Amino acid sequence: MAVDPSPIPEIPWNRPSLGDDEITEVVDTLRSGWLTHGPKAAAFEDAVRTDLGAEDAFAVTSCTAALHLALLAAGVGPGDEVITPSLTFCAAANAIRQVGARPVFVDVEPTTHNLSPELTEKAVTARTKAVIVMHYGGHPCDLRRFRTLADDRGLLLVEDAAHALLARRDGLRAGSVGDLSTFSFYANKVITTGEGGMLVGRADLVRKARLLGRHGIDSSVWQRHTERRTADYDVAVPGLKYVMSDLAGAVGLRQWHRLADFTARRAEIADIYSRALRALPGLSTPKVLPDTEPGWFLYSIFIDAGYAPVDRDEVAYRLRTEHCISTSRHFRPVHTLRAFADEDNPRLPVTEVVAARQLSLPCYPAMTDDQVQRVIDALRVIWGNRMVP
């Protein structure tokens, strides 16, 4: 009887790195009997705040919650416009709509795929209240220019730093320049708590966000349990419930200590890919600007079907079906999603071209060198071993 050849082991697009430290910290939390926002979430907030040199930090249930709170705390609401890229996840646009404001989508730069400062400046109107920038794939946007623009025009600057937990440009750390910045610890992010996020930035705004994020109650349940020794509370403003649990905080604290190592390994893999793949015709690799250290949440390739032997979707299909390698796409532009498709939306030519060509390859610390090589070899096979000299 013929024996099936052994199946090729799958290389997932992403896999988190969780070890004994995280497990020990979670078990410790479970044994402590305190599961909601308390000492572990507070220690995680302290670690992030100190690292970034931020005035304050509030650990929440997701980056989306952090974005929602950022806008609420800054008083963004009906009648206001908020400028944001379309080449991103829907979270910022959803938060803008949830506070009753209007997202104004602006095109990205062709090199970094970040919001273009020139086009942003042109899009500012008397109704513009805020700009939410995003660091695409972990490559920081032009933080200096956006800070100056926000200061000159009296706008709130929010950094959606979901992809850039540890990244720098021109000596500035991503997440440390906006009036407020948001991080994601979703399951596929550079560090994870399963679901989770952090809001950091100006003390006055984070204080308001903290109040809003715990029902509008002026004390945390941990404070009432420990310092105050009372069950009494008052609700100062109508709020929401967005606090991070101590179980998630325990994981986040340990993961945060590993962030530098994780980022270094991602950078190493990105370098191996870039050296090997730039020889494939019609395929381009991510550009890194001078004086920049990206966070490498994504390793993107861009396939120009006019020059490559295959188009982006066929590459993804063949990687999956012939080589057991999963990929992802970042992103379907928000202005093309049903909830945001609007006749008034401008054409965003760079966003549309990038979205049609981009493919995210597996790039994470749990990958072995052999797996990285398998991805490279698979792409070479798909290209029919055609290389530019």
Ligand X SMILES: Cc1ncc(COP(=O)(O)O)c(C=O)c1O
Task: List the beta strands (DSSP E) in 161-279.
Answer: 168-169, 172-173, 180-184, 197-201
What Cα–Cα distance (Å) separates residue 45 from each residue in 49, 53, 151, 286?
Answer: 6, 12, 27, 32
Is residue 241 a contact partner of residue 180, using CB atoms and an 8 Å limit? no
Specify the amino acid at residue 212.
L
89 binds ligand X (CB under 6 A): yes
Q: How far is the CB of 294 from ligand X (least distance, A)?
A: 14
Window 14 to 73, contacts with ligand X (CB under 6 A) = 62-64
Which candidate, 372, 365, 195, places its Cα nearest to that of 277? 372
300 binds ligand X (CB under 6 A): no
162 binds ligand X (CB under 6 A): yes
Which residue of 40, 49, 68, 163 would you call a contact of ligand X, by CB under 6 A? 163
Site size toward ligand X, by CB under 6 A: 13
220 binds ligand X (CB under 6 A): no
Q: How far is the CB of 33 from ligand X (least distance, A)?
A: 27
Q: Which range of residues in 22-30, 158-166, 250-258, 349-357 is near ligand X by CB under 6 A?
A: 158-166
Q: Which residue's CB is nearer to ligand X, number 140 or number 282?
A: 140
Catalytic hit among 129, 189, 208, 287: 189
- Determine phi and psi for 219, rounding to 5 degrees: -140, 155
Q: Which range of residues in 94-102, 105-113, 159-167, 282-290 is near ligand X by CB under 6 A?
A: 159-167
Q: How far is the CB of 134 from ligand X (least distance, A)?
A: 5
Distance CA 215, CA 238 (A): 6
88 binds ligand X (CB under 6 A): yes
Which residue of 44, 146, 186, 364 would you call a contact of ligand X, by CB under 6 A? 186
Give buried/exposed letters for 29-65 (b at 16+ CB in 10 A, else e).
Answer: beeeebeebbebbbbbbebbbebbebebbbbbbbbbb
The yes-or-no answer on residue 287 being catalytic is no
Q: Which range of residues in 87-95, 164-172, 275-283, 300-308 is near ligand X by CB under 6 A?
A: 87-95
Q: Which residue's CB is nearer to ligand X, number 160 or number 179?
A: 160
Is residue 145 a contact partner of residue 170, using CB atoms and an 8 Å limit? no
Chain-centre distance for alpha carbon 228: 37
Distance CA 69, CA 75 (A): 10
91 binds ligand X (CB under 6 A): yes
Q: Peptide bond preceding 331: is omega within 30 degrees of 0, i.e. cis?
A: yes
Q: How far is the CB of 166 from ligand X (least distance, A)?
A: 15
Distance CA 271, CA 383 (A): 20
Which residue of 56, 160, 179, 246 would you call a contact of ligand X, by CB under 6 A? 160
Q: Which residue's CB is nearer to ligand X, number 106 or number 162?
A: 162
Is residue 124 a contact partner of residue 104, using CB atoms and an 8 Å limit? no
Q: Which residue numbers are catalytic?
A: 189
Binding site for ligand X (CB under 6 A): 62-64, 88-89, 91, 134, 160, 162-163, 184, 186, 197
